[in-house]
Structure 1
Amino acid sequence: MRDRSSVILIQEGKVALIKRVFEGDMYYVFPGGGVDPGETPEQAARREAFEELGVEVEVQALVAVVEHNGTQFFFSAQLLSGEIGTGRGEEFTNLKRDRGTYEPMWIDIAQLQQVNVKPREVAEKV
């Protein structure tokens, strides 16, 4: 399986998540994706934040490592520039991809316990 890398971006009491609807299920994930060959997990997290959210971030500390279909790395990150919702990754441009919907948004940290965030163990650390 392919390793993945994600960012945990928190600003003003809210965390950036991707709302997914896929095969009838609705859930939220931390912005991220696959680590490309020759790329570090930190580089992948930065690239994925730009592709999925439309923002430039500074990747900071490794917060969690989850083993599920490969290794998943979760990094705290600081917003440098850009606007959530302006990402232009394959999720938004390849209409034939058929992987459900992707909707970037800010969620109040206090709401994380009430919504279906995957992986749950990372949401609990936030």
Structure 2
Amino acid sequence: MRDRGSVVLIENKKVALIKRIKGDLLYYVFPGGGIEQGETAEQATIREAYEELGVEIDVHDCFAEIDFKGKQFFFLGNIVGGEFGTGQGEEFSDENSETYIPMWVDISDLSTIDIKPKEVAEKIQSLFN
């Protein structure tokens, strides 16, 4: 069990997600990952956004906190640099059997996809209803 930091990036009524394909499974997650020794949740979120998306972000308020295999923190953020989709984290290595695809998804489509955690997606949708 490891605590995680994730970012909620919203632009033009779209949210940044990672499409994951793992064998026969297809689902979406918010960009983020484990908090390393000596890191704050905010620092982990900034590092993971760069590794997974290729973007530099500002982190704002904690949007949601979920208990699942440790604490998961979801921070609102803004892109301040870099190029979306150019992440070079270990997830993207050829040795990894999973597929990671950074993408923008319409907020109105969140209820039609398998997104984890669903609670965060529902909270985002409630802001736009």
Report the TM-score range of the alignment, normalised by the length of the smaller protein.
over 0.9
- 1:30 maps to which residue? 30
TM-score (ref. length: structure 1)? 0.95
1:112 correspondence with 2:113 = no
Distance apart, 1:13 and its partner CA? 1.1
CA distance in 2, matches of 1:121, 1:21: 21
Distance apart, 1:81 and its partner CA? 1.3
Task: Look up the SS of the partner of 1:15 in the other structure.
Answer: strand
1:72 maps to a residue whose letter is Q
Distance apart, 1:97 and its partner CA? 3.3
Residues 23-62 of structure 1: matches in 2 within 5 Å?
A: 23-62=23-62
Residues 1-126 of structure 1: matches in 2 within 5 Å?
A: 1-93=1-93, 95-98=94-97, 100-126=98-124
Task: Give unmatched runs, 5+ long, in structure 1.
Answer: none
1:11 maps to a residue whose letter is E
CA distance in 2, matches of 1:68, 1:81: 31
Determine which structure has the larger helix proportion and give its number. Answer: 2
Distance apart, 1:69 and its partner CA? 0.8
Task: Give unmatched runs, 5+ long, in structure 2.
Answer: 125-129
CA distance in 1, matches of 2:13, 2:82: 18
1:84 maps to a residue whose letter is F
Task: Look up the SS of the partner of 2:111 in the other structure.
Answer: coil
Q: CA RMSD in A?
A: 0.8
Distance apart, 1:96 and its partner CA? 2.1
Q: Percent identity?
A: 56
CA distance in 1, matches of 2:10, 2:50: 15
Distance apart, 1:23 and its partner CA? 2.7
User: Alpha-carbon deviations, 1:20-66, whole Å to 9, x = none?
Assistant: 01131100000000000000000000000000000000000101111
- 2:127 maps to which residue? none
User: Alpha-carbon deviations, 1:78-118, whole Å to 9, x = none?
Assistant: 1111221100000012x2233x1100000011111111110
